[in-house]
Amino acid sequence: MPTHRPLPTPPRVGVRIIGTGSALPARVVTNDDIASIVQTTDEWIYQRTGIRQRHVCEQAKGEGNLDLCIRSLRTALESARLRADELDLIICGTISQDLRCPSTACMVAGALGAGRAAAWDLGAACSGFVYGLNVAHDLIRGGNYRRIGVIGADTVSALVDYTNRGTCILFGDAAGAVVLTATDDPTKGCLAQANHANGSAWPDLFMPGDEAMVTEEYDRASVRPMCLQMNGKAVFKFAVGTFQELIAETLEKAGLTADQVDLFVCHQSNARILEAARERFGIPPEKLYINIDRVGNTSAGSVPLCYDELVRAGRVREGMTVMFVAFGAGLTWTSSLWQM
């Protein structure tokens, strides 16, 4: 019989979010601006989505995804009082990288002077930040990493066809970031998480590289390559149901009820989807943050932008229970329930 030496018991490590940051382009595009390009109205967009305006990068001036990522992580590091070279890893959730190679995370690491920190991008569309938050949390809990920067950023304005009113009304550009650190207090960190995908539903929201990749539910002649295609109705239906199941699943895993959660920080895809979840769980408005009216759907930037705004408004305090929730292309959906 072989004799095995018992593995050493890993130290019980907690995880804390010690810094946040976000970045929005200066240029604001209102619903009236969109209505001057495609056949729509401010009233229609606001009633169907809750959006009044969005911030959009000025690509002609060289403003893009990388700038927003750098600005958001720099601010998060400043608020955490850390230097970039004190990070072990940078994860960037994004689908709108300025360059296909190298990863945006590597370029951010280079720009901020992160030394030899590992760096990679995580492609899960609007779920990218929350997926990344869960991965980073578990890496720290596992004991191999102590400090990780997680960015969620998208500049979907560069991927949108501004003749397609089904998509161009929705999206804006933004980035947000958090800095996580290991702590001796094991009660701090993620209490429960859920990460899912349904790969068979990818044609509901995707970006074809060329015409041959356009699936049969879309009108090929009207599809622009490298622009986002969305079956809005299907995604809406998926989102309303999944969003609520996700909250229920996460609460059940943690053994908590919705009223025990202090804040819900949710992907801002459509105010009607958020409102349906709020009603189902009886969540008071002040506990479910909404900024979609000011920024639109900013994909992976959405959740960390909301969280940074809440932190800066003094609405997040030590000991609070906060649930992050997101869903998007893939289709993907994910949650992370934290004890702050």
Residues in contact with ligand UT7 by CB under 6 A are 40, 44, 48-49, 126, 165-166, 169, 205, 232-233, 235-236, 239, 269-270, 297, 328
Distance of closest approach, residue 102 Cβ to ligand UT7, in angstroms: 26
Partners of 46 in the β-ladder? none
Cβ-based nearer residue to ligand UT7, 45 or 84: 45
Cβ-based nearer residue to ligand UT7, 179 or 326: 326
Tell me whether residue 126 is one of the annotated catalytic residues: yes
Other Cβ atoms closer than 10 A to 216: 7
Distance of closest approach, residue 274 Cβ to ligand UT7, in angstroms: 10
User: Which residue do the tokens 């995908």 mark?
Assistant: 197
Tell me whether residue 267 is one of the annotated catalytic residues: yes
Distance of closest approach, residue 49 Cβ to ligand UT7, in angstroms: 5
Whether 101 contacts 272, CB under 8 Å: no
Distance of closest approach, residue 182 Cβ to ligand UT7, in angstroms: 32
Tell me whether residue 297 is one of the annotated catalytic residues: yes
Let me know if 210 is exposed, middle or buried by CB neighbors in 10 A (0-12, 13-18, 19+).
exposed
Cβ-based nearer residue to ligand UT7, 164 or 321: 164
Query: Which of 65, 134, 231, 297 does the annotation list as catalytic?
Result: 297
Whether 277 contacts 246, CB under 8 Å: no
Distance of alpha carbon 55 from alpha carbon 63, whole angstroms: 12
What single DSSP character describes residue 288?
B
One-letter amino acid for residue 56 of the chain: V
Cβ-based nearer residue to ligand UT7, 180 or 288: 288
Cα separations in angstroms, 88 against 79, 84, 133, 239: 18, 9, 15, 34
Query: Which of 92, 106, 126, 266 does the annotation list as catalytic?
Result: 126
Residues assigned a catalytic role: 126, 267, 297
